[in-house]
């Protein structure tokens, strides 16, 4: 009975994933500024979530291993770490494709891109550690301890560090309303130069033209490939009005607040696609995708754990 239910669940997962792929292309609407590139969040974000869950699961199995010293738990820890690594690579690649389409470059050392690369390297070191120790018991013990420390860094790298950074192109503030994305404060009488991502910005003037407040900001693109003056504005209600595009890019500069008397302004980058998940069709497809990718990860984990556990049993039998 249990086997039959498992088989039904697997075919159900196959159909669900096919449904998510269909919905991603034909149900989710296009977004102004993003075009079809916006559809990639249906894959990109769930894979990033699965990554964090898989790494956490791996650490739990490592803790259980340290308590029980059973090679079977160690095999489960490795399997979960492998699944996490697989989905982490998938999230990085889909993110890079999105970046190329929307920001014009596959990689620009945005805080989010940098932290996910660090996370990939930390877990690559986990597998390197495992392969460098011949003695089975010692390998399992050391890698379990390392895995727990690696997992402790994961929430900081995935969730905290990109939000602590002054500015990120990653659409935390574009997709998810309420996310913190402060931008940078510039002062004509003080710190008038700062950085937005890897773009240097310098405040040249803040003035009022009728009801509109305008900031004149010089932007220097990475490697001084382009220098331009942008003039984002606020309307009479204090809401952002003109949002000029950065030279050669698809993202825009937005003026968050400005005070012509004090000579201060706060500006930020804004990726296209603000409020993407406020659309009901996108939201439901996104939730279905999260569940489906979660189930897929669980399935891959089970298969890999079974194989590694069989291997562990064989080694135990040989040792006897």
Partner 1 sequence: MQILLDAGVAIYVAMSVALVVWLGVFIYLMRIDAQAKELKRLVLATNQESTPATPRATVEHRTPHAQ
> Which residues contact partner 1 by CB under 8 A?
10, 14, 17-18, 21-22, 24-26, 36, 299-300, 302-303, 306-307, 309-310, 313-314, 317
The residue (of 10 and 138) whose beta carbon lies closer to partner 1 is 10
Entry field: residues in the chain:
320
Return d(Cα 154, Cα 275) in angstroms, integer. Answer: 27
Nearest one of 241, 246, 247 to 271, comparing CA atoms: 246
Smallest distance from partner 1 to CB 220, Å: 36
The residue (of 27 and 176) whose beta carbon lies closer to partner 1 is 27
The residue (of 236 and 306) whose beta carbon lies closer to partner 1 is 306
The residue (of 97 and 148) whose beta carbon lies closer to partner 1 is 97
Return d(Cα 270, Cα 253) in angstroms, integer. Answer: 6
The residue (of 2 and 224) whose beta carbon lies closer to partner 1 is 2
The residue (of 97 and 205) whose beta carbon lies closer to partner 1 is 97
Q: Looking at the DSSP assignment, which residues form a beta bridge with residue 119?
A: none
- What would you report as the CA-atom Rg of the chain, rounded to the nearest whole angstrom? 24
Query: If 0-12 CB within 10 Å is exposed, 13-18 middle and 19+ buried, where does residue 3 land?
Result: exposed
The residue (of 63 and 97) whose beta carbon lies closer to partner 1 is 97
Smallest distance from partner 1 to CB 288, Å: 15
The residue (of 163 and 302) whose beta carbon lies closer to partner 1 is 302
Q: Is 279 left (phi over 0), alpha (psi -120 to 50) or beta?
A: beta
Smallest distance from partner 1 to CB 124, Å: 23
Smallest distance from partner 1 to CB 300, Å: 7
Smallest distance from partner 1 to CB 319, Å: 13
Q: Order of strands across the sheet with 252-259?
A: 184-187, 264-270, 252-259
Smallest distance from partner 1 to CB 2, Å: 12
Smallest distance from partner 1 to CB 280, Å: 21
Smallest distance from partner 1 to CB 257, Å: 40
Smallest distance from partner 1 to CB 54, Å: 16
The residue (of 79 and 194) whose beta carbon lies closer to partner 1 is 79
Q: Are 56 and 154 in contact (CB under 8 A)?
A: yes
Return d(Cα 308, Cα 192) in angstroms, integer. Answer: 58
């Amino acid at each position: 009975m249990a086997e039959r239910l498992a088989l039904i669940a697997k075919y159900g997962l196959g159909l669900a994933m096919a449904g998510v792929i269909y919905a991603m292309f034909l149900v989710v609407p296009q977004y102004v500024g993003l075009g079809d590139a916006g559809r990639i969040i249906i894959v990109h974000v769930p894979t990033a979530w699965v990554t964090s869950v898989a790494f956490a699961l791996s650490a739990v199995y490592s803790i259980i291993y340290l308590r029980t010293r059973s090679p079977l738990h160690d095999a489960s820890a490795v399997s979960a770490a492998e699944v996490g690594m697989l989905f982490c690579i998938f999230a990085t690649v889909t993110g890079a494709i999105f970046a190329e389409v929307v920001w014009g470059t596959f990689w620009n050392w945005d805080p989010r891109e940098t932290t996910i690369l660090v996370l990939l390297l930390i877990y690559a070191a986990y597998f390197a550690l495992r392969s460098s120790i011949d003695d089975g018991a010692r390998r399992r013990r050391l890698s379990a301890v390392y895995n727990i420390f690696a997992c402790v860094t994961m929430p900081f790298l995935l969730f905290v560090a990109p939000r602590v950074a002054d500015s990120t192109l990653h659409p935390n503030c574009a997709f998810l309303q309420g996310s913190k994305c402060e931008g940078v404060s510039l002062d004509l009488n003080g710190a008038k130069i700062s950085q937005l991502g890897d773009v240097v910005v310098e405040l040249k003037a803040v003035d009022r033209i009728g009801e509109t407040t305008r900031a004149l900001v010089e932007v220097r693109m990475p490697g001084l490939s382009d220098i331009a003056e942008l003039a984002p504005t606020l309307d009479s209600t204090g809401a952002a009005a003109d949002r000029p595009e950065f030279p050669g890019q698809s993202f825009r500069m937005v003026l968050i607040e400005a005070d012509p008397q004090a000579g201060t302004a706060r500006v930020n980058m804004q990726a296209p696609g603000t409020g993407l998940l406020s659309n009901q069709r996108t939201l439901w497809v996104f939730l279905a995708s999260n569940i489906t990718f979660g189930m897929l990860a669980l399935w891959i984990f089970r298969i890999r754990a079974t194989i590694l556990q069989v291997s562990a049993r064989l080694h135990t039998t040989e040792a006897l």
